[in-house]
Structure 1
Amino acid sequence: MANKLRLGIVGVGNIFKASHVLPLQAHPEVEIVAVCDINLERAEQIAAEYGIESAYADYRELLKRDDIDVIDICTSNYFHSEVAIAALKAGKHVFCEKPDAINPEEAQKMADAAQASGKVLMTMRNNRFTPASSYLKRYIDEGHMGEVYTGRCGWVRRRGIPGKGGWFTTKELSGGGSLIDLGVHFIDLAVWLMGNPKPVAVSGATYTKFANNEISNSVHSRFGEKKEGGTFDVEDLAIGFIRFENGASLQIEFSWASNIQEDANFVELRGTKAGCNLRKGELQIFSETAGQLTNITPILKKDAPPGHTEHLKHFIEVVQKRAEPINLPEHGVDMIKILSTIYKSAETGREVVL
């Protein structure tokens, strides 16, 4: 077995507790040795709960430790780039929760810092690691769908605003609302499945209609910390259209709240040989065989680990030099460019060239 990686966590809120700490503690090549949070009391509570030796309030103090190999960033969006760049400059490998950054300039600085340091920088793309996504990627790469030329993707909720009044709904800290929170997941998945074509233009519209609505029916509302009377200056719904250099296109829709029948996430792609619908983790493929239209439902593993767990495992494999990275910093730069330009299009009311 390779040497154990000593890991420090920055940010110990809900996403850390829900999706990071247990997979990392269970990994035989990882030892979490320190946690950091601007709320020192919370960091100390987490350290005691999970048997972690050190707790800090300032990530700069954590980065001074020569015995830490990896930093895992689970802070609010605004601090992703700041902490990542500092950690890379300190010689640490970095895993970061999504989104990569709150604007393209910061995402590019992260990519540049990773290249200069020679360390691994990877941002969470958990939806690439589900059984359905892995199967579909191979199916497309083997040519079974032909030319994948258009599609649509989204994640829509009926009432599922996270951390209302807190950092999620404060643009300065989050970079935006449902688009940057949810769009990064399924735009990334769709673009990856399509072969990572370069985006060249976008158009979009954003809406804020549920800032004063207190109803919630989604477990996702538990993320973040609600703040009574807090800020809500982001969108709760975004729609848009992306054009790519190779002529392909993608429709998008992301909402925290809207009057729909039920919550859903989906990626639909259309190819010259087949199309697909990946919805709520279930995959169907639509094609034709022997002169007849056919619907294919692959038999996939039902008990696979969550995508967050699988991506963290992949990151460790890359750091240990046993695997090539499935996602690269430049993918993150392109993603944040797409999101930022959709916001610009929504403000100007016209298509914007990247």
Structure 2
Amino acid sequence: MAKKLKLGIAGTGNIFKQNHLKTLLEHPEVEIAAVCDANEAYAAGIAKEYGIPHVFSDYREMLKRSEIDVVDICTPNLYHSEIGIAALNAGKHVFCEKPEAVNPEEARKMAEAAKESGKTMMAMRNNRFTHASQYLKKYITDGWMGEIYTGRCGWIRRRGIPGKGGWFTTKELSGGGPLIDLGVHMIDLAVWLMGNPKPVSVSGATYANFHNNELSDSTHSQFGEKQKGGVFDVEDLAIGFIRFENGATLQLEFSWASNIGEEMNFVELRGTKSGSSMKKGELQIFTEVAGRIADISPLLGKQPVDTHGENLKHFIDVIQGRSAPMLTPEHGVDMISILAAIYQSAQLGREVRLDDKGGSRNVA
């Protein structure tokens, strides 16, 4: 019988309550042993409601408890790597909400801490677990797509700024706007489907034109806590272009607010045998069959997938030795390096190359 894993939760806000809590409470191999939040009274209320025995306001105190096997990090972005590194050094497995860090240096420190500790470290990449993503990954792995040489991805909203004035829109705490918030999801999905090619250079631009606009049409704007008159020093739209070592390329666009028809997330890939389009969870494949151009719409599961829950279950399977990890800390370093280089390119107004350690260097 698999070992019962005791979890410590760092950060008990909306992302934990809405996307982590149910799966962890229902998993037969998991017990939530402690919760930690800067708002200790709020954490204490959650602990009382769900019978969690220990409450902390300082994660360092929580890490001292020897019975805790795993730390699940759901804090604002700035603290992900700080808590993650400390937890790994304390001999705990770590699951972290995206992004795992706000800069490449911190992402590398996390990867190194995971390697040295021998513990599992994984960040949330829940969009890999949809019906469409799982089917397309198998379609590609089985060779039906051929060589994937280019693609485009994005998540664009008409009006959907989360927690305006709070930590989402405060660069010091979040690391950036929609590029780091939404880009992690769809860039990761595209790069994973492409076979995780190594990025070598990026070019990007960012815009901020909706700071004073209070309209909202997206349920996603409910994340975070709005603060009237608070900080808004991040972009509301980012576009970019990535080149990979194998010659493949990827276009991208991410926005919290722009004048478009409707909110949409998408990954489109072009292969030598087939192309594909995933929009709003729907998958279409464009190919040739029996000498004719053909469109394929696979019949996928109709029941929606709790993708956050499936990602957490996969993480537990990895710890218990039942699965190999779909995401490695090194993949995380590549992701954060891409995001940081796009921001740097936008600031410099020119392409930025990535070095072999995932850092960046400028080119005229």
Give the TM-score band, short-chain normalised: over 0.9
- Tell me the amino acid that sits aligned with residue 317 of structure 1: D
Q: Is 1:137–2:124 an aligned residue pair?
A: no
3-state SS of the aligned residue for 1:234?
Answer: coil
- Tell me the amino acid that sits aligned with residue 3 of structure 1: K
* Displacement after TM superposition at 1:52 (Å): 1.2
3-state SS of the aligned residue for 2:182?
Answer: helix
Residue equivalent to 1:122: 122
Residue equivalent to 1:269: 269
**Using the alignment, how far apart are the partners of 1:184 and 1:102 within structure 2?**
11
- Tell me the amino acid that sits aligned with residue 58 of structure 2: D
- Tell me the amino acid that sits aligned with residue 229 of structure 1: G
Residue equivalent to 1:335: 335
Name the stretch that deviates more: 128-137 or 46-55.
46-55
- CA-to-partner distance for each residue in 1:71-102, whole Å, 9 max, x for gaps? 00000000000000000000000000000100
Residue equivalent to 1:245: 245
**Using the alignment, how far apart are the partners of 2:37 and 2:231 within structure 1?**
22
* Displacement after TM superposition at 1:50 (Å): 1.9
* Displacement after TM superposition at 1:305 (Å): 3.0
Residue equivalent to 2:71: 71
**Using the alignment, how far apart are the partners of 1:104 and 1:66 within structure 2?**
30
- CA-to-partner distance for each residue in 1:173-215, whole Å, 9 max, x for gaps? 1100000000000000000000000000000000001110001
- Tell me the amino acid that sits aligned with residue 260 of structure 1: I
- CA-to-partner distance for each residue in 1:35-67, whole Å, 9 max, x for gaps? 100011111111112221111100001000000
**Using the alignment, how far apart are the partners of 1:243 and 1:286 within structure 2?**
24
Alignment coverage as a number of residue pairs: 354
Residue equivalent to 1:294: 294
Residue equivalent to 1:34: 34
* Displacement after TM superposition at 1:3 (Å): 1.5
- Tell me the amino acid that sits aligned with residue 164 of structure 1: K
- CA-to-partner distance for each residue in 1:155-181, whole Å, 9 max, x for gaps? 001110011001100000110000000
3-state SS of the aligned residue for 1:335?
Answer: helix
Residue equivalent to 1:14: 14
3-state SS of the aligned residue for 1:343?
Answer: helix
Give the superposed CA RMSD: 0.6
- CA-to-partner distance for each residue in 1:240-259, whole Å, 9 max, x for gaps? 00000000000000000111
**Using the alignment, how far apart are the partners of 1:289 and 1:322 within structure 2?**
38
- Tell me the amino acid that sits aligned with residue 192 of structure 1: W
3-state SS of the aligned residue for 1:327?
Answer: coil
User: TM-score, normalising length from structure 1?
Assistant: 0.99
**Using the alignment, how far apart are the partners of 1:42 and 1:229 within structure 2?**
24
Counting aligned pairs with the same residue, the percent is 70
- Tell me the amino acid that sits aligned with residue 184 of structure 2: V
1:71-220 aligned at under 5 Å gives the runs 71-220=71-220
Residue equivalent to 2:359: none
**Using the alignment, how far apart are the partners of 2:26 and 2:334 within structure 1?**
33
In 1, are the aligned partners of 2:131 and 2:305 still within 8 Å (CA)? no
Structure 2 portions without partners, runs of 5+:
355-364
User: TM-score, normalising length from structure 2?
Assistant: 0.96
**Using the alignment, how far apart are the partners of 1:58 and 1:348 within structure 2?**
39
* Displacement after TM superposition at 1:304 (Å): 4.6
The structure 1 segments of at least 4 consecutive aligned residues displaced by more than 6 Å after TM superposition are none
**Using the alignment, how far apart are the partners of 1:264 and 1:50 within structure 2?**
36
3-state SS of the aligned residue for 1:247?
Answer: coil
**Using the alignment, how far apart are the partners of 1:316 and 1:212 within structure 2?**
43
Structure 1 portions without partners, runs of 5+:
none
Residue equivalent to 1:345: 345
